[in-house]
Amino acid sequence: MTVYFLCFVLFSIGLFAVVRKRNLIKIIIGIGIMAYAVNLFLILIGYCKEGRAPVLSSDQGIINMVDPIPQAMVLVSIVLGLVLTLFLVAVAIRIYEKYGTFDITKINRLKG
Partner 1 sequence: MTPQALVPYMIFIPLSAAFLIPPFGKKFKKAGDIISCAASACVTALGIYLASSVALSKVLVHKPYGWQAPFGVALVVDGLSGLFLVAMNIVALVVAVYSIGYLNTYTDRWKFSSLFMLLVAGINGVLISGDIFTLYIFLEIAAISGYFLVAFGIAPDGLEAAFKYAVMGALASVFVLLGIALIYAHTSTLSIAGISSAISVGQQTDVLKFAAVLLLTAFSLKAALVPFHAWLPYAYSSAPAPISAMLAGVSTKVLGVYTIMRLFFVMFGPSPQISVILITLGVLSMVVASIMAFVQVDIKRLFAYSSISQIGYVALGLGIGTPLAVFGALFHLLNHSAFKPLLFLASGAITRLTGTRNMGKIRGVMKDSPVTGTATLVGSLSICGVPPFGGFWSKLIIILACIQAGRPVLAFTAVAVSMLTLAYYFRSLTQVIFGKPLTHGKREGAVTMSMGIAMITLVVISASMAVLLLPNTGNAVIKEAVSVILNGKSYAAMVAGVLK
Shortest distance, position 15 Cβ to partner 1, whole Å: 8
Instruction: Spell out where the chain has E strands.
Output: none
Shortest distance, position 98 Cβ to partner 1, whole Å: 4
CB nearer to partner 1: give 52 or 94: 94
Give Cβ neighbours of residue 11 (< 8 Å, ≥ 6 apart).
33, 34, 37, 38, 41
- Residue 41: helix, strand or coil by DSSP? helix
Shortest distance, position 11 Cβ to partner 1, whole Å: 7
Q: Which of 98, 63, 60 is nearest to 107 (CA)?
A: 98
Shortest distance, position 38 Cβ to partner 1, whole Å: 5
Give Cβ neighbours of residue 96 (< 8 Å, ≥ 6 apart).
24, 102
CB nearer to partner 1: give 49 or 109: 109
Report the interface residues with partner 1, using CB under 8 A.
11, 14-15, 18, 24, 27, 31, 34-35, 38, 41-42, 45, 69-70, 73, 76-77, 80, 83-84, 87-88, 91-92, 94-95, 98-99, 107-110, 112
